[in-house]
Chain A
Amino acid sequence: MATMIENEVPQGLNADPMIPQLYRIDRVRDETDDTFTLSLVPENGEAKISFLPGQFNMLYVFGTGEVPISISGNPAMTSVLEHTTRSVGIVTKAMGLLKPGDQIGVRGPFGSHWPLNEENGRDFVIISGGIGLAPLRPVLYFLMAQREKYRKIVLLYGARAPEDILFKKELERWRGKFDLEVQVTVDRAASGWRGNVGVVTPLVARAPFDPSNTVALLCGPEVMMRYAVMELQKRGVPHDRMYLSMERNMRCALGYCGHCQYGPGFVCKDGPVYRFDQIASVFGKSEV
Chain B
Amino acid sequence: MTPKAPRFNNCAVLSPQQLDQLLQVLIKRDYEVLGPTIREGAVVYDHVDSTKDLPAGWTDEQAGGKYRLKRREDDALFGFVVGPHSWKKYVFPPAMRLWQAHRSDGLFQIVPETRKATKFAFIGVRACELHALSIQDKVFLKGPYVDTVYKLHRENIFIVAVDCVQAGGTCFCASMNTGPKAAAGFDVALTEVLHEGRHHFIVRMGTKAGADLMSQVPHEEATAADVEFAENLVAEAAKHMGRSLDVNGIKEILYRNIEHVRWDQVADRCLSCSNCTMVCPTCFCSTVEDLTDLSGQQAERWRKWDSCFTTDFSYIHGSSVRSTPRSKYRQWMMHKLAYWIDQFGTSGCVGCGRCITWCPVGIDITEEARVIREGETLASAAG
Contacts and interface: CB of A to CB of B under 8 A. Distances in A.
B232 interface: no
Contacts, number: 141
A255 B145 CA distance: 7
Contact of B308 (A63, A101, A258): A258
Contact of B343 (A247, A264, A281): A264
A255 B108 contact: no
Nearest to B313: A259
Contact of A266 (B103, B148, B313, B343): B343
A282 interface: yes
Interface of A: 1-2, 4-5, 7, 9-10, 13, 15-20, 22, 60, 62-66, 88-89, 101-103, 105, 247-249, 251-252, 254-259, 261, 263-266, 269, 281-282, 285-288
5 pairs of A and B residues whose beta carbons are closest in the complex = A258-B285, A287-B327, A264-B342, A63-B292, A254-B145
A62 B103 contact: yes
Interface string B236-262: 000000000000000000010011000
A1 B105 contact: yes
A285 B327 CA distance: 11
A105 B259 CA distance: 41
B144 A62 contact: no
Interface of B: 98-99, 101-112, 139-140, 143-145, 147-148, 255, 258-259, 284-288, 290-292, 296, 299, 301, 303, 306, 308, 313-318, 321-324, 326-327, 330-331, 335, 338-339, 342-343
Given A252-B286, A281-B255, A103 B321 contact: no
16 contacts: A7-B109, A9-B109, A10-B112, A19-B110, A20-B110, A62-B299, A64-B290, A251-B288, A251-B306, A256-B145, A256-B286, A258-B285, A261-B331, A264-B343, A266-B343, A287-B326
Contacts of A15: 112
Contacts of A60: 290
B103 A256 contact: no
B110 A9 contact: yes
A84 to B, nearest CB: 15
- Determine chain B's interface SS by DSSP, over half rule: mixed
Given A9-B111, A256-B145, A257-B306, 16 more contacts: A18-B99, A19-B98, A60-B290, A63-B101, A89-B318, A101-B106, A103-B108, A249-B315, A257-B285, A259-B285, A264-B343, A269-B144, A287-B321, A287-B322, A288-B258, A288-B321
Nearest to A11: B110
Nearest to A286: B327
Contact of A251 (B145, B255, B287): B287
A248 B320 CA distance: 9
**Which of the listed residues B104, B291, B318, B343 has the most CB atoms from chain A within 10 Å of its own CB?**
B343
A5 B107 contact: yes
A64 B291 CA distance: 7
Contacts of B287: 251, 257, 259
Contacts of B106: 101-103
Given A257-B286, A259-B287, A265 B343 contact: yes
A261 B338 CA distance: 13
Contacts of A285: 258-259
A258 to B, nearest CB: 3
Given A4-B107, A264-B342, A287-B321, A249 B314 contact: yes
A261 B322 CA distance: 11
B259 A63 contact: no
Contacts of A269: 143-144
B45 to A, nearest CB: 22
A75 to B, nearest CB: 21
Given A256-B143, A257-B287, A264-B339, A19 B317 contact: no
